[in-house]
Structure 1
Amino acid sequence: MEILGISLESLYLVALIIAGAITLIYILIGDVLEGSGFLNPTLLLSFITILSGTGFLLEKFTNIQSIFILLLAVTVSLILVTILNLFVFIPLSKAEQSLVYTNDSLKGRVGKVITTIPKDGFGEVVLNGKGGTIAKSAVSFDEEEIKEGKMVLVIDVKNGVLHVSPHEVNHSFTI
């Protein structure tokens, strides 16, 4: 079948190439376009790419009538884009996790002194966690010297400085 003197196979191939190129451009500048409309461009581009790819393959390798190929390609594309949306895009949009921490989230954490904290000065403490390692300036909450290598408990955080107290790790368990 032909439309305006061009075979459907060629139309599907051109649509596939154009949709693929636009998808590539969207990957590069997608953050600029994000949230600009109500329709997710990723879903639209996926739909067009799957539709044109399926249509091209069916036109090239089967003897099915063109109208049935178009209907089949639309159906396959709708199903695959729906699955893609439900199982990939929606979970990804809800899985936004940040490695950012707040000063309040540091309170109560245990860390290790990496630079001795003098009575009336600053030292440095490292805190390990799921999001990585955080090294912060620290002062002694009890105004006592805390030697390098000692474990400390973060009592408070003021102006980005940890106020820490020595912490004994108890490894004995009683049952």
Structure 2
Amino acid sequence: MTLFSMPIETIYLILLIVSGSLTILYLFFGDVLEGIAEATGFLNPVLILAFITFFSAGGYILEKITSLNSFIIIIIAALVSVLLDVLLNVFVLIPMASAEQSLSYTEKSLEGRVGKIIISIPENGYGEVVIESYSGMISKPAASFEDTPIDEGEEVLVIEVKSGVLYVIPYQKSFT
């Protein structure tokens, strides 16, 4: 079969090379296009590039090793590509998206959290506080917000973060 006066195998091969190259470029510059994935919902650029890659690779291989009609090969390649795309989305992309959010934190997100002093904070000095999170324990240097000493083992509330240092006050649970 010919399309645009070229053999269909050549078109599959060109599509495979272009989509593979775009996938590599997306790997390096994908953060620029993240907004597109958020705005369109299900039209993720990774899924579109994966579909084209799967489709062109499947079509090229089937054209080379079978004697099936080209229209049947297009249908088979499209169905297999959709199936592989769904599997890629369900088992790789969705779990990775949720794992990325749960494992990362910013220093700003530590403000308002409760931690425990593991190295006492002297007056006008520094100690260390540990905060439990979903990804494990976060240990950071700490100073007293009010320049008062805080003993080891006390629970503290993080008031602000400056230059990687948590400024804390003793935490009192209030049940009002």
TM-score w.r.t. the length of structure 2 is 0.75
Whole-angstrom CA distance in 2 between matches of 1:144 and 1:20: 60
Whole-angstrom CA distance in 1 between matches of 2:57 and 2:92: 21
Whole-angstrom CA distance in 1 between matches of 2:127 and 2:54: 55
Letter in 1 for 2:29: I
The reply to whether residue 111 of structure 1 matches residue 117 of structure 2 is yes
Instruction: Give the alignment of 1:19-168 within 5 angstroms.
Output: 19-36=19-36, 38=40, 39-95=43-99, 96-97=101-102, 98-100=104-106, 101-105=109-113, 107=114, 109-113=115-119, 117-118=122-123, 121-127=124-130, 129=132, 130-138=136-144, 146=151, 151-160=152-161, 161-164=167-170
Pick which of 55-64 and 92-101 moved more: 92-101
1:51 deviates by 0.1
Letter in 2 for 1:155: V
1:117 deviates by 0.7
Whether the 8 Å CA contact 2:111–2:160 is kept in 1: the answer is: no
* Aligned partner of residue 124 in structure 1, secondary structure: strand
Max Rg structure: 1
Structure 2 unaligned segments of length 5 or more: list them: 162-166, 172-176
* Aligned partner of residue 136 in structure 1, secondary structure: strand
Whole-angstrom CA distance in 2 between matches of 1:60 and 1:18: 19
Aligned length: 155
* Aligned partner of residue 80 in structure 1, secondary structure: helix
Whole-angstrom CA distance in 2 between matches of 1:67 and 1:42: 26
Whole-angstrom CA distance in 2 between matches of 1:5 and 1:88: 39
Deviations for 1:68-125, whole angstroms, at most 9, x for unmatched residues?
11110001001111111122222333332232342221x2x323216x613xx33322
Letter in 2 for 1:133: S
Structure 1 unaligned segments of length 5 or more: list them: 166-175
TM-score w.r.t. the length of structure 1 is 0.75
Moved >4 Å (runs of 4+): 143-146
Aligned to 1:2: 2
Q: RMSD of the alignment, in Å?
A: 2.6
Whole-angstrom CA distance in 2 between matches of 1:145 and 1:13: 68
